[in-house]
Amino acid sequence: AVSGSSLYDFMVKKFDTAGTQAWSNIYDNNSNYDYFENVYLDPSEDLFIAGYTQNLAYASSGNDIWIKKISAAGTEDTVNWDLAVEAGPTFLSYDSGVSKTDATGNTYIAGYSQNIFSSTSGHDIWVRKYDANGTLDPSWDIVLDDDWSSVKAVALDSSGNFYIAGSKYGTNWDVVLKKIRNDATVDTAWNKTIDFGDQDYATSMVVDAGGNLYIGGYGAKLISASSNNDWWIKKFDSSANEITTGW
């Protein structure tokens, strides 16, 4: 903690190849609860950290996404990248991987919030893209009315297409998957639901050089009626077809 009254804070440390600490930074948003979620590096090896905190955008904004950029030397970019992303009572996913950076330094981030699409739309997914200077691309201020309950993982391919996985409740918890093309339109071929028949969750996702997507998570009793939570992994080709041979 920054002080005895600062509650939860962000803490970031860098270690060299010998395990020696190079620097250590702590960040506090006005003694609120600050929840650190994930880190990622851009092509210049600048470090981005993302999480959420309370009332960062304004006094009653609720939970806001907090994004910071830190140089390799440990210096924070406070001019362009001390960003508050507010879309109502917003939460970043409780799993890492909800932010990605492409080869030119653009940052993509996904989350969910309540009733953004309409006053009765429930949980809505939002996606945003920022350039290397922290400026929002207005074509990527996207809201999807899908009533997801969380965003759990994201992936970015070499063409700038952005994939999102999360959870949605029907009879049970199911995994849901979407793809946003590099022109900010939704590729409906990737509107997929993964349902093993019980409680199913995604935790991570990655795209290889050939455009194949791998997604993994866990589900209840996948192996047997007494196996409790089991791992699962699936593979889809670049055309959204599931590869079942060997997978």
Please write the tens of the pLDDT for every residue from 180-190.
Answer: 999 999 999 99
CA distances from 3 to 59, 74, 218 (A): 21, 21, 38
pLDDT higher than threshold 70 for residue 88: no
Mark 178-217 as b/e (b = at least 16 C-beta within 10 Å): bbbeeebeeeeebebebebeeebbbbbbebeeeeebbbbb
Beta bridge partners of 235: 214
Position 246 confidence tier, pLDDT thresholds 50, 70, 90: confident
Position 161 confidence tier, pLDDT thresholds 50, 70, 90: very high
pLDDT higher than threshold 50 for residue 137: yes
pLDDT higher than threshold 80 for residue 1: no
Q: Which of residues 150 and 213 earns the better pLDDT score?
A: 213
pLDDT higher than threshold 70 for residue 93: no
pTM of the predicted model as reported, rounded to 2 decimal places = 0.81
Mean pLDDT score of the chain, rounded to an integer? 83
CA distances from 31 to 34, 42, 158 (A): 8, 29, 40
Q: In 3D, which of 166, 159, 144 has the Cα closest to residue 211?
A: 159
Q: How many CB atoms lie within 10 A of CB 93?
A: 25
Q: What percent of the chain has pLDDT over 70?
A: 81
Please write the tens of the pLDDT for every residue from 38-87.
Answer: 788 888 889 888 877 766 666 666 677 788 899 999 999 988 887 777 65
pLDDT higher than threshold 70 for residue 247: yes
Please write the tens of the pLDDT for every residue from 173-231.
Answer: 899 999 999 999 999 999 999 998 888 999 999 999 999 999 999 998 888 888 889 99
Q: What angle do CA 147, 148, 149 make, to 5 degrees?
A: 115
Distance separating alpha carbons of residues 47 and 65, to the nearest angstrom: 16
pLDDT at 91: 46
pLDDT higher than threshold 70 for residue 114: no
CA distances from 196 to 47, 175, 191 (A): 37, 9, 17
Distance separating alpha carbons of residues 16 and 18, to the nearest angstrom: 5
Q: What percent of the chain has pLDDT over 90?
A: 39
pLDDT at 122: 65
Q: In 3D, which of 215, 113, 106, 212 has the Cα closest to residue 154?
A: 215
